């Protein structure tokens, strides 16, 4: 079928609603030949829904490749014509929005370094007014759900009806396993607050390296994300940006074949009955835990009375260390992680201090 911009709208609709939605392509459009070969090799896998390519690259430091600019947009048009894949581009200014729309870019996304800046987001939103184009919004580089939400609101107020989220991790100082810490709990919280918005995961910018892309992608699917955006390049090691994290279209197809795709729910009475039974056991145990915690607080209050009568401080560091050491030893035997034990006992200990504080200062 001849790809025209009007039947493309239907294709984009269908892709937007498809689960999982898979977007791939190079970090940056570099040359016309590279864009076209990438698109053709991706299309040949039959596993890709949209082609991505960075045209304007917001680089953290000057001096690295800053994107090919507007001259790359016709290359994307050509790639779309040859493969039928809708194309997605990052926009950070009003002019970039205009240029992208002028060259029939099908989906726009706002990058992490733009989401942090309300002035930039507003400029993009103003340029979007009246346009009928889906927009994906990456999380801001810093772990702030309000900025992410603010960007969604600005774009929505400009009249954009189809908005989706991209979770690409958060900057952290120092070397970690990841280029950007996933902080999954933040993505989960954003999903909880906005159940109507689709959210896809970007393992490439979380990992910053190709060897751990699979595990992050799998985790996203296990957490019921709606899709993935993964960078691919015909010659990853020689990519002009983000070389370490890109994979060839063929390797990407292999990875997508290895992922265990899960669904949020199934229509089976047996499954639901079994699940319900286990959930009741969990509820029951949670109730018991709370009873026990409440008893623990009562005892802490009694200790508070004693301390008050003898004018002793609430916090006794030795005792707190002893509690933690004991909990680590026991927890290890019971299969509970050290990080969990620390967080749990911190919370319990703080609550005990609050209870004692009330007693001591009443």
CA gap 26, 34 in Å, rounded? 9
Residue 103 CB, shortest distance to ligand PEP, in Å, is: 19
Contact of residue 92 among ligand PEP, Mn ion, none (CB under 5-8 Å per partner type) = none
- Closest residue by Cα to residue 150 from 122, 123, 169, 130: 122
Contact of residue 208 among ligand PEP, Mn ion, none (CB under 5-8 Å per partner type) = none
Look-up of token digits 């239907």: 10
Residue 200 CB, shortest distance to ligand PEP, in Å, is: 12
- Which residues in 190-249 contact Mn ion (CB under 5 A)? 242
Kindly tell me which of 57 and 191 has the beta carbon lying closer to Mn ion: 57
Q: Which of 15, 167, 205, 210 binds ligand PEP (CB under 6 A)?
A: 205
Residue 44 CB, shortest distance to ligand PEP, in Å, is: 23
Contact of residue 138 among ligand PEP, Mn ion, none (CB under 5-8 Å per partner type) = ligand PEP
Per DSSP (E only), the strands in 168-265 are: 198-201, 227-231
- Using the rule CB under 6 A, is 203 a contact of ligand PEP? no
* DSSP track, 63-90: TS-----GGGHHHHHHHHHHH---EEEE
Write out the two tokens for 29: 């459009």
Q: Which of 8, 27, 89, 91 binds Mn ion (CB under 5 A)?
A: 27
Q: Which of 23, 39, 112, 228 binds ligand PEP (CB under 6 A)?
A: 112
Write out the two tokens for 227: 């899709």
- Using the rule CB under 6 A, is 25 a contact of ligand PEP? no
CB 79 within 8 A of CB 52: no
Write out the two tokens for 157: 């107020």
Helical H segments across 89-209, by residue range? 94-102, 112-115, 118-128, 145-157, 184-193, 203-207
Beta pairing class for 107-110 and 198-201? unpaired
- Which residues in 113-132 contact ligand PEP (CB under 6 A)? 113
By CB under 6 A, which span of 38-46, 105-113, 258-266, 344-352 interacts with ligand PEP?
105-113
Q: Which of 15, 41, 80, 138 binds ligand PEP (CB under 6 A)?
A: 138
Those residues with Cβ within 8 angstroms of residue 12's Cβ, 6 or more apart along the chain or in another chain = 86, 106, 107, 134
Kindly tell me which of 61 and 192 has the beta carbon lying closer to Mn ion: 61
Q: Is the dihedral of CA 36, 38, 39, 43 positive or negative?
A: positive
* 148 backbone φψ class: left, alpha, beta (φ>0; ψ -120 to 50): alpha
Q: What binding mask, one character per residue, do residues 65-104 give for ligand PEP by CB under 6 A, x or -?
A: -------------------------x--------------
* Site residues (vs Mn ion, CB under 5 A): 27, 242
């Amino acid at each position: 079928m001849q790809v025209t911009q009007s039947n493309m709208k239907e294709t984009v609709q269908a892709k937007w609603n498809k689960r999982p939605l898979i977007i791939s392509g190079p970090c940056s459009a570099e040359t016309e030949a590279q864009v076209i070969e990438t698109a053709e090799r991706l299309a040949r896998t039959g596993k890709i829904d949209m082609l991505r390519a960075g045209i304007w690259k917001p680089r953290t430091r000057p001096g690295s490749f800053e994107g090919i600019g507007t001259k790359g947009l016709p290359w994307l048009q050509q790639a779309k014509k040859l493969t039928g894949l809708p194309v997605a581009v990052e926009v950070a200014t009003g002019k970039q929005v205009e240029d992208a729309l002028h060259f029939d870019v099908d989906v726009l996304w706002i990058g992490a370094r733009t989401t942090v800046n309300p002035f930039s987001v507003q400029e993009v939103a103003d340029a979007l007014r009246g346009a009928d184009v889906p927009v994906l919004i990456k999380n801001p580089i810093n772990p702030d759900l309000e900025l992410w939400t603010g960007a969604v609101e600005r774009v929505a107020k400009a009249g954009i009806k189809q908005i989706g989220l991209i979770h690409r991790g958060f900057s952290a100082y120092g070397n970690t396993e990841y280029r950007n810490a996933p902080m999954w709990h933040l993505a989960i919280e954003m999903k909880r607050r906005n159940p109507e918005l689709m959210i896809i995961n970007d393992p490439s910018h979380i990992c910053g390296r190709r060897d751990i892309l699979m595990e992050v992608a799998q985790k996203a699917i296990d957490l019921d994300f709606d899709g993935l955006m993964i960078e691919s390049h015909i010659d990853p090691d020689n990519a002009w940006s983000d070389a370490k994290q890109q994979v060839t279209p063929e390797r990407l197809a292999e990875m997508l074949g290895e992922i265990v795709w899960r669904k949020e729910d199934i229509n089976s009475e047996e499954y639901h009955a079994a699940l319900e039974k286990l959930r009741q056991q969990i509820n029951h145990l949670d109730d018991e835990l709370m009873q026990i915690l409440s008893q623990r607080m009562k005892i802490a209050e009694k200790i508070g009375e004693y301390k008050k009568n003898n004018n002793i401080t609430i916090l006794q560091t030795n005792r707190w260390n002893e509690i933690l050491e004991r909990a680590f030893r026991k927890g290890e035997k019971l299969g509970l992680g050290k990080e969990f034990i620390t967080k749990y006992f911190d919370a319990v200990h703080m609550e005990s201090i609050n209870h004692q504080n009330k007693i001591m200062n009443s």
